[in-house]
Amino acid sequence: MSGGPWERFAAQFPELLDTLLLGVEMTVIVTFGGFVVAMVLGMAGALLRNARMVPIRMLGTLYVDVFRSVPVLTQLFIIYFGLAELGVKLDPIPAAIIGFGINGGAYLTEVFRAGIEAIHRGQNEAALAIGMTRAQALRVIVLPQAVRVVLPPLGNFAIGLLKDTSVASSVAAPELSFRAHMLVDQTYLSTQIYLTVAALYLAMSLPLAYGVRKLERRMARGRLA
Amino acid sequence: MPDDVGRRPLLRIVGLHKRFGTLEVLRGVDLQVLAGEKLSIIGPSGSGKTTLLRCINWLERPSDGEILIDDQPIGETRSGDRRVEMRDVELARMRARIGMVFQRFNLFPHLTALDNVAIGPIKVLRQPKQEARREARALLDKVGLAHKCDVYPDMLSGGQQQRVAIARALAMQPTLMLFDEATSALDPELVGEVLTVIRGLAAEGMTMIIVTHEMQFAEDISDRVIFMDHGQIVEQGPPHQIFRAPAETRTREFLRAVIDRQVYAAETA
Amino acid sequence: MTWTDFSEWLPQLLVAAGGTLKMSVLAFTLAVFAGLLIALARTSRRRAVSAVATCYVELIRGTPALTQLFLIYFGLASAGVILPAFTAAVVGLGLNYAAYMSEVYRAGIAAVHRGQREAALAIGMTNALAMRNIILPQAVRIVVPPMANYAVSLLKDTSVASLISAPELMLRARDLSSEYFMPMELYVLAGVMYLVMAYPLAKGARYLELRMGQGRIAS
């Protein structure tokens, strides 16, 4: 091969991009999967933290405190390498989805809890006072308001998660960063390839960020008791 | 006017325009204020009187026109047709000579009353701290707040906060004082203490421009009253003329509405 | 895991945790200062300056820290600038967090009422004096709690530096794991060590949040 790195990069660009786009697909899958798991665990966690019984409440607190104090990379290694040692051999992609899901769930627990707390107690009482049942009050009065509080941080969480999935390359999940790593090993075009990768991440995160900002502005206008 | 012989204009405003987007708030204001003069500006809200005041110390950048303090242009200098914006430091030096009292006080909440007054001399005039604080104490004493030196603004009443704000402006030894509706944000029972302080300053011969809704006060204190409407000076003259025998219909209508309201407020109080 | 294993690992992991702390402190310091510069640049009256600063923030926040680390470590190396992994990690994470920090400063500055700046200008302060003496001292109270939260996540994110072989806790845990073939034990141990470092910091951040809540800020 001859020419400078940028010329080599230009010549190989179509193939490189094809491979990277395969990685993009996997990045989207891991992000989406992790997001869904985190949503479920976050709601469960928020319910635990609002439970009446103290031991259950402490369980919720423990979940949040532990998983928010340990790097997600460490959690991924425990799930992927650690569990394998005990005979539970997960594929990289499911391991990543579970890892990001559990980690994100701890974060979303706090988000959902804040959402519930942001609704003034008077709202619930006023709903009960006009004869609604507890379930009705929750569904018709409290939740619609809580959604407004929760949506912007949920959006920001999704952006953070998208970027964090790059760490899954370290457990050999074939997402964007992993593909990039392989290509760099083959071509030594580190600057060119990582810049392309950065551009691809931007192409995914900027529209999300734009959406969140719009949402934030809209929500700020919405009325909240 | 024979009694003006020898008195120089301290402030000269020529052809002042201010636009916010398409909205023209000031539409050609010309004004001269003599040293020692006490000028009140009255008019309905939205007439541009506050904007005029804020243009004088360049908190608002005029769209067109010229403002001269002691024959020195503020904000920008002209070379031919070009307007050159002043350097931050020069602008600050000019602002230091113009005291301003805001409607909402704007005291610095992280500083005690004493340091609110002393911070200008310390940071801008680079006076030694001891000296600046000593003078600040004297100024707080003058506005009747010597006992509140070490108190933070959030522990002061509105009237007390505004008196500290006046002391803060005086600490810079300004040649001109601007009062922007200094009593509008105050509870009625606190208005008097602030007006008393301003009256005291007037008696000492301070040059001042007062934007106010207190008509009685304006009549008592002013050498000259200006009525503004729709971004222009409609009428001006000595207070007895403006308040007792206004020449313009718009002035009459405004005064009647204000006085009706004040009488009504007094009766219902 | 036997007691012998444990007693062999622990000193090594503790030394590595020291590396994690050192990396966190250095990167955080860089982020605090660089972030302030970026925030001030964004308020600049010169369009070009504020545009560059805004672009920087958007680009950094839109891409993973890992990609940035790779660019600094491998990318610069291919251009002849060879940084030690630890330095690359400090610079990379510091500049990454600077972008987030600048947003915190910006929110803090915006939260100080406009009248404060005007009152400062009115007594003759320059913009710089007003920023330093009036606006920043008030913004600090707003800024400190979110900064403390960023310190916690920075501490955790230093683990990513292991992927460019910077000497810190996760790298050591990985090395030991490939030597002893006991990943579960080692990574859980590493996790506990992170917990011990991050949890008190997070509690401190929470405490600051509650205490700074009732500061003296004009609004």
- DSSP letter for A166, please: G
Number of A/C CB contacts below 8 angstroms equals 127
- Candidates B150, B174, B175, B176; CA nearest to B164 is B150
> C133 — contact with chain A (CB < 8 Å)?
no
Backbone angles phi, psi at B208, to 5 degrees: -145, 145
What pLDDT does residue A50 have?
81
Give Cα B96 to chain centroid, integer Å.
14
Mean pLDDT of A13-39: 95
Q: Is C215 a residue whose pLDDT tops 60?
A: no
Mean pLDDT of chain A: 89
Q: Do chains A and C touch (3 or more CB pairs under 8 A)?
A: yes
| Average pLDDT score over chain C | 91
- Which of the other chains make 3 or more beta carbon contacts under 8 angstroms with chain B? C
pLDDT at position B220: 93
Q: How confident is the model at residue B79 (pLDDT cuts 50, 70, 90)?
A: confident
Give me the helices (H) in chain C, please. 3-42, 47-62, 65-70, 76-78, 85-111, 114-122, 127-130, 136-157, 169-180, 183-212
Name the β-bridge partners of C139.
Answer: none
Whole-number pLDDT of residue A221: 65
Q: Indicate yes or no: CB of B97 within 8 angstroms of CB of C217.
A: no
- Which span out of A66-70, A209-213, C41-45 was modeled with the highest average pLDDT? A66-70
Alpha-carbon distance B122 to nearest alpha carbon in chain C (angstroms): 11
Percent share of chain B, pLDDT over 90: 78
Q: Measured on CA atoms in the order B232, B238, B239, B243, is the torsion positive or negative?
A: negative
Residue A201 in this model has a pLDDT that exceeds 60? yes
Percent of chain A with pLDDT over 70: 96
- Using the predicted structure, report yes or no on whether residue A2 has a pLDDT greater than 60: no
A–B touching, 3+ CB–CB pairs within 8 Å: no
Chain A residues inside the 8 Å CB shell of C149: none
User: Would you call B57 and C122 a contact, using CB atoms and an 8 Å cutoff?
Assistant: yes
C-alpha to C-alpha distance for B109 and C114, rounded to whole angstroms: 13
Instruction: Provide the pLDDT confidence category of residue B269 given band limits of 50, 70 and 90.
Output: low
Q: Is C20's Cβ below 8 Å from some Cβ in A?
A: no
Chains that touch C (3 or more CB pairs under 8 A): A, B
C158-to-A107, A157, C18, C21, C192 alpha-carbon distances in Å? 19, 19, 12, 9, 15
Classified as helix, coil or strand, B19 is strand
**Cα-only R_g, chain A:** 22
pLDDT tens-place string over residues A118-149: 776 778 777 777 777 777 777 778 777 888 88
Cβ–Cβ below 8 Å for C125 and B57: no
Query: Cβ of B120 and C124 within 8 Å?
Result: yes
Check if A197 contacts C (Cβ < 8 Å).
Answer: yes
C173 → chain A, closest CA residue:
A74
Distance of CA C177 to the CA centre of its chain: 28
Q: How far is CA B263 from the centre of its chain?
A: 26
Residue of A70, A110, A111, A193 to mutate, testing the C interface (most C Cβ within 10 Å of its Cβ): A70
Return the pLDDT at B87: 86
Question: Where does the pLDDT of residue A225 fall: very low under 50, low under 70, confident under 90, or very high at 90 and above?
Answer: very low
DSSP A48: H
Using CB atoms, which residue from C67, C181, C195 is nearest to A177?
A: C67
Instruction: Using CB atoms, list chains with 3+ pairs below 8 Å to chain A.
Output: C
Report the residue from C62, C67, C182 with minimal CB separation from A209.
C62
Q: Which range among A178-187, A214-223, B15-24, B114-123 shows the weakest confidence by mean pLDDT? A: A214-223
Whether residue A5 and residue C194 make contact (CB cut-off 8 A), yes or no, is no
Residue C206's nearest CA partner among C154, C161, C156, C149 is: C149
